[in-house]
Chain A
Amino acid sequence: MEEKFIFSGKYKFVSLLLILTGLIAVVAGFFVYHDHGSRFWANFLMNTTYFNAIALCGVVFIAVHMLGNSGWQVSIQRVPEAMSMFLPVSGFLMLVILAGLWFNFHHLYHWAHPDPHDTILELKKGYLNIPFFSIRTIIYIAGWIIFARILRKISVLQDNNNDLKYFKKSTVYAALFIVFFAITSSTSAWDWLMSIDAHWYSTMYGWYIFSGLFVSGTAVIILLVLFLKGAGYMKHVNKEHLHDLGKYLFGFSIFWTYLWFSQYLLIWYGNIPEETAYYVPRLDEYRNLFFINLGVNFIFPFLALMTRNSKRQPWILAMVSVVAFIGHWIDYYLIVMPGTMGAEAGIGFFEIGMTLGYIGMFLFVVFWGLTKASLVPENHPYYKESMEYHTQY
């Protein structure tokens, strides 16, 4: 049962229009804001890391299910696979930020030009220096892209050959990827995001970023699956698949809150100035967003997806996914902006336009990725389990 996605002119038009919107916003911002591009770079970093996380979630989703020997997700597997094809784009954009660090285009990371009297940054110099930072960044990007490509390639090869060896091979690569990811997800979060507030540190940080990655990635998977279903593809995806995706969104939203709250509580309770320094500007200058963040990422999905029926209802699921997508965008905003823009940041045409541009790029790549192979990996050994998927709870 081969099924191919057709990247029609309509979809091309919409995604290119979104990209164009982003470009217009960037150009307009150049004329409107006279801040030497600091607003541009802050948004650039925020969107690149956010969309990179979503693309990376595609690989994580495939790998963890492979290792967990799970069968239900096989029939939607091509969606996260296509998402992972955005990694080269986000990786390239990250390299632009890296180049900016070498050639002083931006001041996103103040550790790059430390005050000579700053003893704390002096103590961190062994880790926070431009050459080592660049090496690490390149390792992360290269590693993720290589693993994503290998897993995708094996999965597509399997379409023409129902030998079990592909299944076994991909399990091995999934395990290798997870080990690589377990380390790099934390270190990349420290490097790219935590080091914006270079004096501050939190051991939880890497896992916190990971939990956000899984929520926003799942939300995007749900939206893409529902979109494909709406467009007449993937008829085999039934309410059980949606229910399971909804459970992920529900569960990991709570998990994200758990990590958010644990980090906040412990820092609040300890009340050590070095640590509270992170929350003070966020509570002073970003007070509204700070609480909105909790509302949209915890209270809303928690209440909206609580019942069994809501997880099986496509429109509720779609609505919660959109909110979660915006919610985690806000989370990234709160992560990046206070350290890069201080109190100057806002949310205007520039932020929205630029994010729409990223959405356009992401959709373009994902749609293009979906056309590259059948929408169902029919030789997967768990294919039939996923096609005939029903359960009593």
Chain B
Amino acid sequence: MYVSPVREPLIKGGKNYSKVTEDITRPILTKPGKLWFFGITISSIAAVIGLIAMFITVRDGIGRWGVNRTIGWGWGITNLVWWIGIGHAGTFISAILLLFRQKWRTSINRSAEAMTIFAVMCAGVFPLLHMGRLPLAYFIFPYPNTRGLWVNFNSPLLWDVFAISTYFLVSLLFWYTGLIPDIATMRDKIKNKFIKPIYSFLSFGWKGSARHWSRHESMSLILAGLAAPLVLSVHSIVSMDFATSVIPGWHTTIFPPYFVSGAIFSGFAMVLTLMIVARKAMNIEQYITVGHIESMNKIIIATGSIVGIAYITELFMAWYSGNIYERFAFYNRAFGPYWWAYWIMMTCNVITPQLFWFRKLRRNVVFTFVVSIFINIGMWFERFVIIVTSLHRDFLPSSWSMYKPTLIEVAIFTGTLGIFFTLFFLFIRIFPVVAMAEVKGILKTSGEKTKH
């Protein structure tokens, strides 16, 4: 396949196949550095704090949270939606970008998919806790039982159960399918006789024969086809948790595509936050190049602008509807007691990504890192704004209320961040962080040529 010389090489430094293996497996085969121990210690401490707070919630009940009768959904659901959204970048990169034959995805898909899985795990914590009685959580599954109970199929909350569990399952399968050849490489590389059998078991007896590859590739393509609609469906259904209601600020038809776009937006921000640090710390800057960062930043401008248009469309339609409740909901969002949350959201999500229109800025690694943090914060506030400001002043002014998270809620959120980063730190020590086999597949066409 011919590649135009105008295109920037995706793999720098004139790599050959063995060099790729060597570079990517090095972090697993060598002892971790101080930075890694420091990072995993901090994140495990955060995780433990979160687990304690979760225990307190389960022991005492939802009364330990700041939610009340008017504002029934607070940080819990905000965090759920935020985490689910973070996961979307992984699926988008591995499914949609695969179908669009974007070769640059090969350097980042592995870690982004791992993020997806960890993020969905963190997300799952919140609805489970919010149910109040954790041991009865299995009631959400519809199966014939003697209790005379049945789930409500009309409820988007139930659709969420199916959507998110399917999403988790398909993402996991996708991630693992891609990992098999790389695990086999690890099996061949590792000398330690206790660890070798584990990799050997996990590699499913991969030999790298032509038949294996052929099946592997068709499997990847089928999974990509299955995962592509999931990118859209999961966050659409999450958005329907809100949009099927008749609450001004929640009930609006743009929600499904706008949530999906926001999810991809926040997901890419998180990938950038993590990978900008990881590529430096793990010395893989020749694999995740400035070109990769620029490509991701382009997706950030696109999805960020879609989100911006959605905000403005909602605002305009609230006025255009001529419905006084709609108008009030949006006026209250921007100028009510939670005005600060609204303007943080607007600044972080609409204004900062627009700076990436400048090529200099979107190729600037430090600047990208700062903006990615802004977007992570902004997208968290988006969910907070949607949930809390729409609820806190409802149709009945006598029940208007304010919401403040308790320490327990803050600790649970910190805990999920801790769990997420702990898992990520473990992941980079156990599995190759870049999909070696896939990078090798594009090396001939898109690798930088060596100077002889």
Chain A residues close to B by CB (< 8 Å): 67, 69, 71, 119-121, 123-124, 127, 164, 167, 175, 179, 182-183, 186, 190, 201-207, 247, 254, 258-259, 262-263, 265-267, 269-272, 274, 381-382, 384-385, 388, 390-393
Contact = CB atoms under 8 A, between A and B. Distances in A.
B7 interface: yes
Contacts of B254: 202-204, 207
Interface in B349-384: 357
A123 B246 CA distance: 22
Given A124-B322, A201-B321, A270-B245, A262 B6 contact: no
Nearest to B239: A262
B127 interface: no
B244 A270 contact: yes
Contact of B313 (A67, A203, A392): A203
A89 B2 CA distance: 39
Contacts of A272: 246, 251
Q: Which of A259, A266, A382, A391 has the most CB of B within 10 A?
A: A266
A183 B4 CA distance: 33
A266 B1 contact: no
Contact of A266 (B232, B253, B313, B320): B253
A269 B313 CA distance: 21
Given A183-B309, A206-B313, A382-B4, A127 B256 contact: no
A262 B323 contact: no
B1 A391 contact: yes
Given A69-B7, A71-B4, A186 B309 contact: yes
Contact of A164 (B6, B240, B357): B6
B317 A269 contact: no
Nearest to B308: A182
Contact of B4 (A123, A254, A271, A384): A384
- Chain A binding site: helix, strand, loop or mixed by DSSP? helix
Given A201-B320, A393-B221, A262 B257 contact: yes
Given A266-B243, A270-B244, A270-B245, A203 B257 contact: no
Nearest to B327: A123
A266 B257 contact: no
B244 A266 contact: yes
A28 B207 CA distance: 75
B289 interface: no
Closest 8 CB pairs of A and B: A203-B254, A123-B322, A204-B253, A262-B256, A381-B6, A269-B244, A120-B322, A388-B2
Given A124-B322, A266-B252, A274-B323, 5 more contacts: A124-B320, A164-B6, A179-B305, A265-B244, A269-B244
B317 A167 contact: no
B6 A167 contact: yes
B255 interface: yes
B3 interface: yes
A262 B313 contact: no
Interface of B: 1-4, 6-7, 99, 101, 217, 221, 229, 232, 236, 240, 243-246, 251-257, 298, 305-306, 309-310, 313-314, 317, 320-323, 357
Contacts of B251: 266, 270, 272
- Chain B binding site: helix, strand, loop or mixed by DSSP? helix
Nearest to A121: B322
A201 B305 contact: no
B246 A270 contact: yes
Nearest to B154: A269
A167 to B, nearest CB: 7
Contacts of B252: 203, 266
A69 B323 CA distance: 44
Contacts of B101: 391
10 contacts: A119-B322, A124-B322, A167-B6, A203-B254, A205-B253, A266-B256, A270-B251, A271-B246, A272-B251, A381-B4
Contacts of A388: 1-2
A381 B2 CA distance: 12
Contacts of B1: 388, 390-391
A186 B320 contact: no
Q: Which of A182, A204, A384 has the most CB of B within 10 A?
A: A204
B257 A384 contact: no
A267 B232 CA distance: 19
Contacts of B298: 67
B394 to A, nearest CB: 16
A120 B2 CA distance: 60
Contacts of B310: 203
Nearest to B313: A203
Contacts of B321: 201, 274
Contacts of A179: 305
Nearest to B256: A262
Nearest to B250: A270
Contacts of A71: 4
Contacts of A207: 254, 257
B253 A203 contact: yes
Q: Which of B4, B101, B252, B305 has the most CB of A within 10 A?
A: B4
A69 B4 CA distance: 11
A204 B257 contact: yes
